[in-house]
Structure 1
Amino acid sequence: MRPKMQKIFSLKLLISVLFLLFVLYWVMSPSSFRLQQQALSVPSTPPSCTKLPPSLADAILHYATLNITPQQTIDEISVAARVLREKSPCNFLVFGLGHDSLMWSALNHGGRTLFLEEDEGWIEAWRLRLLPVVAETYHVKYDTRVSEAEQLLELGARADCKAVGDLRRSGCRLALKQLPPVFYEVEWDLIMVDAPTGYHAGAPGRMAAIYTAGVAARWRKEGKTEVFVHDVDRAVEDRFSKAFLCEGYMKHEEGRLRHFTIPSHRANTERPFCPP
């Protein structure tokens, strides 16, 4: 019995070894390697090809070739960028057209980003470069001057300036009543006040822009509006943002940028202009 069992065992071992060699040969053969490569390289379902959003493509091209530093620092920009990350796509209004405009449009991809600019020549210069970005840009005229700031701040304390309603019917001199119709038709989720010019006495100043942003935020039907004011190291931006956007609504201050979150007052007419 033992010799016979040894023969059977030897035969089984030989078959196993031959099978193993066959498997190794098949795995290592060039044709098998090509088949494995094809199986690994071709997924079961072909991947979809998604084009880069035009707003992002334009922004990359612009900033890759730009040798001008935007006015806001990275820390200041990050404040609004974090809010956009949560709320976009949304309605975003920016007072001012500048080298950061492409960035704001890209960060609000899929939403509506509108720019209000005081300088017609600057708008045309941008139209020649990047029409898609400035298609929602409007020229705005201001009838105020920085030299009037103190007087306008006193006027802003009157009852007609603390009334919340349609800006086009406001009796307050600070109310911008001649903006493009789209401004009054849209409820803005974010408003950035970074214009008009305000660094010398004869400049329009941001008194009316800050006031108008604050009333527009309060007059929305419901919800909240995030308002940002840049250059708060200057007297006008500092005092007017505190007076009309309210220190009680201020969420954050970073460098020269302040962030306010203003709730709707429309459903509650008894709500005070500024929280106590």
Structure 2
Amino acid sequence: MKSSNTKLILVHPSSLHKQLASHRVWFLVFISFFTLAFTLTLITTKETITAAASSAGTFSSTTFAGKSPLPRQVFDALVHYASVNTSTVNSRMSAAELGAIAAVLRRCNSHSTTPCNFLVFGLTHETLLWSSLNYKGRTVFVGDNDYFVSRFEQKHPEIEAYDVQFTTKVSELYELLKYSKEQIKKECRPVQNLLFTDCKLAINDLPNNIYDAVWDVILIDGPTGFLPTAPGRMSAIFTAGVLARSKRGNTDVFVHEFDREVERVSSQEFLCKENLVATVDTLGHFVVGEMDSKRFEFCRNFEEISSTSSPSSTKITNLLKHRL
């Protein structure tokens, strides 16, 4: 009789199966960690890019919007001088003359506690330049052609300009000087409010604020004076002399084309030799100080002008023809 032996079979988990299960767990952990890390990195990167873009935008706005734009006058002047062939422009100032006036304007704006007031007789090739150099101050131009002044203001609305109808003539120079001597204690006084004068040499039809202003610098580069019938600059020089003496302190007065008869003689009479501080090419530079209202002489070295010592209108005409 055979004895039957019961066999018990025990099934043990395979070590390979354990290893695979363990690997799956670690793989899932790794995938989860990688996904979390990638998500965090993506979010952080996005925030960094956004912050950087915002910062860049803020910097750009601060850098450019915070800066004062180039003044329109400066821009127009640069364009003007870049586009004009200066060799075809008559009577424009030399580099030395421009530099002399620019230096005074720079000093006026840097040393003064108030903006510089600059009065210019004449609309010329340099008009935009003067307005640009004194863009922090007030620059006023006086012309003798209402059409040209109106067109210029339309083209450059930032320019303050006025037109004056001059009644003088170059050929009348010495007659007017003689007349001013006769009226030195009356209508043609060196210190007065020009609004209320009837002096033939005075410019009294400008806006009231022109006469109330304290002019630091005055430039006389107009009106025209090449012909005997042209208005000449006698009135402009006389007016500048009165404005300068009727205010406190000193006034820098420049006379362009100072080598011409009208400009030279009128300057000697109303701006005076003792006030001439420099000449640069054809530019005369005077520094005219305040005067006591009780004085009735423009210059300390007063010289009487008589009809016998004065050149005739014919001589002035011949001089002008010679210069032309």
Q: Bin the TM-score by the shorter chain.
A: 0.7 to 0.9
How far residue 50 of structure 1 moved from its aligned partner, in angstroms, is 3.1
**Residue in structure 2 matched with residue 81 of structure 1 by the alignment:** 102
The range that moved more, 173-182 or 157-166, is 157-166
**Residue in structure 2 matched with residue 54 of structure 1 by the alignment:** 72
2:221 aligned partner, one-letter code = D
| TM-score, length of structure 2 as denominator length | 0.66
**Residue in structure 2 matched with residue 102 of structure 1 by the alignment:** 128
How far residue 49 of structure 1 moved from its aligned partner, in angstroms, is 2.8
Q: Note the residue ranges of structure 2 that are not aligned, 5 or more in a row.
A: 1-51, 110-114, 302-324
SS at structure 1 position matched to 2:97? helix
Map residues 170-249 of structure 1 onto 2, 5 A cutoff: 170-220=197-247, 222-249=248-275
Going from structure 1 to structure 2, the CA distance change for 1:163 and 1:123 (only over 3 Å counts) comes to: closer
- Deviation per residue, 1:101-150 (Å, 9 max, x gap): 110011112100000111122123323432223xx111111111111111
**Residue in structure 1 matched with residue 181 of structure 2 by the alignment:** 157
SS at structure 2 position matched to 1:177? coil
How far residue 187 of structure 1 moved from its aligned partner, in angstroms, is 1.2
How far residue 166 of structure 1 moved from its aligned partner, in angstroms, is 1.2
Task: Write the distance in 2 (CA, Å) between the matches of 1:104 and 1:250.
Answer: 22
SS at structure 1 position matched to 2:171? helix
How far residue 186 of structure 1 moved from its aligned partner, in angstroms, is 0.8
Map residues 35-46 of structure 1 onto 2, 5 A cutoff: none
How many residues align? The count is 230
Going from structure 1 to structure 2, the CA distance change for 1:128 and 1:164 (only over 3 Å counts) comes to: closer
Q: Note the residue ranges of structure 1 that are not aligned, 5 or more in a row.
A: 1-37
**Mapped contact 1:249–1:275 kept (Cα < 8 A):** no
Moved segments of 4+, more than 6 Å: none
Matched, 1:72 2:93: yes
**Residue in structure 1 matched with residue 152 of structure 2 by the alignment:** 126
Q: Supply the RMSD in Å over aligned alpha carbons.
A: 2.1
**Mapped contact 1:189–1:225 kept (Cα < 8 A):** yes
2:97 aligned partner, one-letter code = E
Higher CA-based Rg: 2
**Residue in structure 2 matched with residue 63 of structure 1 by the alignment:** 81
Task: Write the distance in 1 (CA, Å) between the matches of 2:67 and 2:116.
Answer: 26
Task: Write the distance in 2 (CA, Å) between the matches of 1:241 and 1:273.
Answer: 11
- Deviation per residue, 1:192-223 (Å, 9 max, x gap): 11111111111111111100100110011x11
Matched, 1:273 2:291: no
How far residue 225 of structure 1 moved from its aligned partner, in angstroms, is 0.8
How far residue 156 of structure 1 moved from its aligned partner, in angstroms, is 2.2
| TM-score, length of structure 1 as denominator length | 0.77
Task: Write the distance in 2 (CA, Å) between the matches of 1:269 and 1:190.
Answer: 24
The range that moved more, 115-124 or 162-171, is 162-171
**Mapped contact 1:91–1:189 kept (Cα < 8 A):** yes
1:257 aligned partner, one-letter code = L
